[in-house]
Amino acid sequence: MQICKKIIVFLFVLTPFYLLAQSTYLNQGSKDYHFIDRLEIKQQNNTDLNFSALKPYNRMFIIQEVSLIDSVRLGLKDSVIELRLLKNQLGSFSKADEYNLRSLFMNNTEWGESYRHEFVSKHPVFHTFYKSKSNFFEINNKDIFLAVNPVLQVQFGKESDNEKRLYINTRGVTIRGRIGGRIGFSSTLTDNQERGASFYQQKVESLRAVPGVGFYKLFKKDPSAFDYFDGRGYLTFSATKFIDFQFGYDKNFIGNGFRSLFLSDWGNSYLFAKINTRIWKFNYQNLFMELMPQFKKEGDVLLKRKYSAMHHLSMNVTKWLNVGLFEGVMFGRKDHFDFQYLNPVIFYRHIEGTIGSPDNAVAGMDFKANVKHRFQFYGQFLMDEFILSQVRNNPTSWVNKFGFQFGGKYIDAFGVKNLDLQIEMNRVRPFTYSHFDTINNITHYNQPLAHPLGANFQEWIGILRYQPLPKLNIYARAIFYYQGLDTANANFGGNIFKSYSTRLTGEGFKVGSGNKATCLNGVLQASYELRQNLFLEAGVQYRKYQLATGMNSPASTTFWAGFRFNMFRREFDF
């Protein structure tokens, strides 16, 4: 993406003498995310943590805030934050919370100055490796920080009514660091071979992409096994105390729920430039992305490009309530960026109208409320098309393209320490995210850029997390949804890759209209952390998918076990 490169060069030229301390970000799927969630809900009044709708999290910022909370909890430091309730709520950490807190500091040794001495290994391997307990190789001095860690994942499974063995085999390396306290960098490279359950194989075939990754090859010419490489990396720097820049190839997430209707990390990585401005009660993020429209790869050919720009402005209305405004635009300009969308001020719809473009603009609102030091309520409302008169007088009109999310989290549920519950509902009307020009739908690399189901669905999600022992985690998740699919000769708006101009009528569209599909997807798994970031795991997954018309595939039950080291858990949540 040439425009992203030009932006970064321009910023370096402008601010070479004003760069401040910078940081890398917590990796996708890090176990620390849930612990940070718990801290935010427990203390409730720390407005700095209320900006957590934007992920990934900045390591430096998170460690600073958590260190402050920990110091106040132990009575070691006074603070301008109102801390009477904070001390009461956080003064009696469970053993699991203490373990998670120590683990968070151990995984971010470049920022935990006061804690670093606790994580020095007594017996490093060959006096070189694992000098610190969390990093295979580490350099940490005033000029450079470098952490290098191996990435491994081995998993085997068995699916009912499937004679072939299921497996995941991942090897790789993750590197992060900073140079002279000015430039940060991070990279994760993995090589993967995978044979998933039957429904996963069908998803790969329908998308022509591996969910979450994209490009793949058949492994040993086996049509049920896939070989793919996943490479991610970025650079970061801070121009001022309030403004951070990031440029790289990775994923982003906007939202407080399990899903996001704005932007999720479910699909493939992409090239992006990001500017984040945090000042007073406001956080403002600009995100510019180079993406790929739907394609069918045939041989070694250069794939086309499309572009997107997104803004998210959030504000702490009170110490416990955060609200946000979102907007985004997807546009194709024959492989070049439209400079009009570099406008850093929110409201793309005005620009779209001004230049007379045929682009796909969306907007939305979100909120998050922390209540009673135990609960968090959150939600999103996305508008692709929202005509109030049509909603009132013609609710089944195709132009009513919008979606919403409501959810809640309950920590230490029913007085049981480290038993955390979450429930979430997502509903998206037909034709949302789609466009008359199929290049401009809200997708990337043959995958939805927001919710993995696309449109014309309603979904309920229930999640249980329980940590009865510091190293033992039990996780259960149930997803039920129904979705309206196309029939042989009619577009009912569930497939966002199709042009909405192919619909046969303008009315009669309800959520679930068409060939109605229902799905129940449940998983139960347990993991034990043998040592830092090394997990032994086992689980079972059940999935039943039914169509109102047509052939139904049999229910799938999969048992699996394995281990992972410095690697996020692979999820099949569709």
- Helix, strand or coil for residue 68? helix
C-alpha 12: how far from chain center: 28
**Model confidence at 175: pLDDT above 50:** yes
Name the percent of the chain in helix, strand, coil, to the closest 5. 20, 45, 40
Confidence of residue 294 (pLDDT cuts 50, 70, 90): confident
Check: CB of residue 326 under 8 Å from CB of residue 53: no
Question: d(Cα 452, Cα 21) in Å, to the nearest integer?
Answer: 36
Of 100, 102, 63, which is closest to residue 417 (Cα–Cα)?
Answer: 100
pLDDT digits (tens, 9 = 90+) for 379-427: 999 999 777 777 788 889 999 999 999 999 999 999 999 999 999 999 9
pLDDT digits (tens, 9 = 90+) for 318-340: 989 999 999 999 987 665 666 66
Question: d(Cα 522, Cα 412) in Å, to the nearest integer?
Answer: 22
pLDDT digits (tens, 9 = 90+) for 418-467: 999 999 999 999 999 999 988 899 999 999 999 999 999 999 999 999 99
Of 72, 57, 149, 152, which is closest to residue 111 (Cα–Cα)?
Answer: 57
Average pLDDT, stretch 46-54? Answer: 74
Instruction: Return the number of other C-beta atoms located less than 10 Å from residue 53's C-beta.
Output: 25
For position 11, what pLDDT does the model report?
Answer: 45
For position 146, what pLDDT does the model report?
Answer: 96
**Model confidence at 12: pLDDT above 50:** no
- Helix, strand or coil for residue 48? helix
**Model confidence at 261: pLDDT above 80:** yes
Mean pLDDT, the chain, rounded, equals 88
For position 15, what pLDDT does the model report?
Answer: 44
Q: State the DSSP string of 465-478.
A: EEEEETTEEEEEEE
Q: Which domains does the chain have, with CATH numbers?
A: 2-565 (2.40.160.10)
Confidence of residue 267 (pLDDT cuts 50, 70, 90): very high
Confidence of residue 300 (pLDDT cuts 50, 70, 90): low
**Model confidence at 278: pLDDT above 50:** yes
Question: d(Cα 65, Cα 417) in Å, to the nearest integer?
Answer: 23
> CA 387, 390, 396, 397 torsion: positive or negative?
negative
Element (H, E) at 100: helix 95-106
DSSP code at position 25: B
- Helix, strand or coil for residue 479? strand
pLDDT digits (tens, 9 = 90+) for 118-144: 888 888 888 889 998 899 999 998 889
